[in-house]
Amino acid sequence: MSHTISRSARAIGLGVASLGLVAASLAVSQPSSASPKSVPTLDHFLCYSASGKGYSVPKVQLLNLLQPKLFSPTIRSVAMHCNPANKSVPTGVFLARHPKAHLLCWAIAYPNFPQTTVSLTNQFGQGDMTASPPTRLCLPTWKSLTGPPKESTKEPAGLDHFTCYPLTVLPGAYAFHLPASVKVEDQFSFPKFVQVKVGVANLLCVPTVKVVKGKVYKIQAATDKSLMCFPEFTTPIKPQVYDLNQFGTGKVFLTKAHERLCLPTVVKVTTRKT
């Protein structure tokens, strides 16, 4: 996933608790140079409202570009499932490079969040928006349509954890221009691209460090992109899938209540008011 956690070099200090209180630090900074092979790629995603059962959710601590100090959100229930997707617009077709790497997202709450403005750049344009307190924690996930995934690892490699923040428009600062035609395809609509209507962006998911019982799950690369999500209407769904990730294996039930097309996006924090 090639995401710029920040265009400028950035270091994040991280305190980690294990059996005792152990001090640790995690530096997240953009390297001066990187070969293409060393930079993971981030796919487009189609995300669907979801519920789920069968998972065991531990207490976690998180840290990311928007919240550069460890915080412990309240984690609730499964809320969103995301498939890697192909996107077709008049300028070209963008194919998923990691079609088996999905995301499963839990609803979270952490109201102590400063007013934050972010600058966002992706294939649809550039603009500034306001981010609100986080509402989702997304885990890299295997998915199967027929039964529990049979994989040798608990998660696909090369995909970050993400924390998602609702977005609101800043008057005069939203300069995203949707193509005349947007078609998408994922495992639910394969082998057909579906024409969709795309709305105003309303969610930003940023790569996130996750700490569980003293174990640190780092961001894959300092240049990893975020996911900026636009509501879209409407693509086919499957009513039930099976997902495997670090929280376990369970059944996930999908609905069309809220569908989103998420684009790889470069993010920069422009203001943060404490």
Confidence of residue 256 (pLDDT cuts 50, 70, 90): confident
> In the chain, pLDDT over 70 holds for what percent of residues?
85
Provide the pLDDT for residue 10: 34
In a domain, 258, yes or no: yes
Q: What's the domain range around 102?
A: 45-53+77-206+229-273
Tell me how many domains the chain contains.
1
Average pLDDT over residues 103-123: 97
Provide the pLDDT for residue 40: 61
In a domain, 185, yes or no: yes
Least confident of 10-14, 125-129, 248-252: 10-14
In a domain, 215, yes or no: no
pLDDT in tens, 51-108: 999 999 999 999 999 999 999 999 999 999 999 999 999 999 999 999 999 999 999 9
In a domain, 219, yes or no: no
Q: Are 122 and 263 in contact (CB under 8 A)?
A: yes
In a domain, 27, yes or no: no
- Other Cβ atoms less than 10 A from the Cβ of 264: the count is 20
How far, in Å, CA of 82 to CA of 262, rounded?
Answer: 9
Average pLDDT over residues 41-57: 97
In a domain, 269, yes or no: yes
Provide the pLDDT for residue 222: 87
In a domain, 121, yes or no: yes
Closest by alpha carbon to 254, among 231, 230, 235? 235
Closest by alpha carbon to 113, among 192, 179, 166, 55? 166
Mean pLDDT in the chain? 87
Average pLDDT over residues 170-183: 96
How far, in Å, CA of 82 to CA of 103, rounded?
Answer: 5
Q: Are 50 and 26 in contact (CB under 8 A)?
A: no
pLDDT at 20 over 80: no
Provide the pLDDT for residue 257: 83
In a domain, 127, yes or no: yes
3 state SS of 61: strand
pLDDT at 46 over 60: yes
Provide the pLDDT for residue 73: 98
